[in-house]
Structure 1
């Protein structure tokens, strides 16, 4: 007969801060819009002469994948700055399709809120936890 192995304790999930959670939501939704923006660049043939129109799809797909990867890495401080760089890249795409400026303003504002207010909430929560452990001992 085989011996029953003892059950493992469930693994604790890593605590995620507000900036990480909100930022990943914004980048997750924005990646879909950016990919669709790449399709618009392709459909309108908005790239300069001499550049094949299908590069619009490739560019949109690459930026969308970068956004997804960045959303998964937001636990690192440098990933917040990569997210800001991606927001600038989306804003620069307005030179190809001017309506992408609307996307850049909306999602850039949401990204700013997510990172700034999220960091503020994380600091406040850390202070509350520290005060709670000081009073609980």
Structure 2
């Protein structure tokens, strides 16, 4: 018999319970990604910005959001999420409707971060 055949299989670890905070953050950023893409098209269509800035800036912000979605397993990614909320609100200077959109998403992000943390802490205690 070979040494490989005598080896007993290692017990598998149970997968960690998914973080509610991470799930909520990915939902908010996913929906916000769609809205930011459409907002970039609006800024381009209304000629609020030069085409390269409107479409290029929108593309860069969308790529940052996709990268942040992929990195939500790291604690620093939530800080990037907060920065994204600020950038979307600041885009309101180019089109005032984006102040409202940014405020709505910032409120949802805040709610999800606070309650996601609270639920995750309660799950750890239980």
Query: Please, which runs of 5 or more residues in structure 2 have no aligned partner?
Result: 1-10
Runs ≥4 residues deviating over 4 A: 9-14
Q: How many residues align?
A: 116
TM-score (norm 1): 0.78
Task: Tell me, in whole angstroms, the C-alpha distance in 1 between the residues paired with 2:98 and 2:107.
Answer: 14
Cα RMSD (Å) of the superposition? 1.9
Query: Please, which runs of 5 or more residues in structure 1 have no aligned partner?
Result: 1-8, 129-137
- The 1:94/1:15 distance shift into structure 2, 3 A limit, reads same
1:22 aligned residue (15, 21, 24): 24
TM-score (norm 2): 0.84
Task: Tell me, in whole angstroms, the C-alpha distance in 2 between the residues paired with 1:96 and 1:13.
Answer: 46
Per the TM alignment, residue 79 of structure 1 is displaced from its structure 2 partner at its CA by 0.6
- The 1:28/1:101 distance shift into structure 2, 3 A limit, reads same
- The 1:65/1:12 distance shift into structure 2, 3 A limit, reads farther
Is the counterpart of residue 71 in structure 1 residue 69 in structure 2?
A: yes
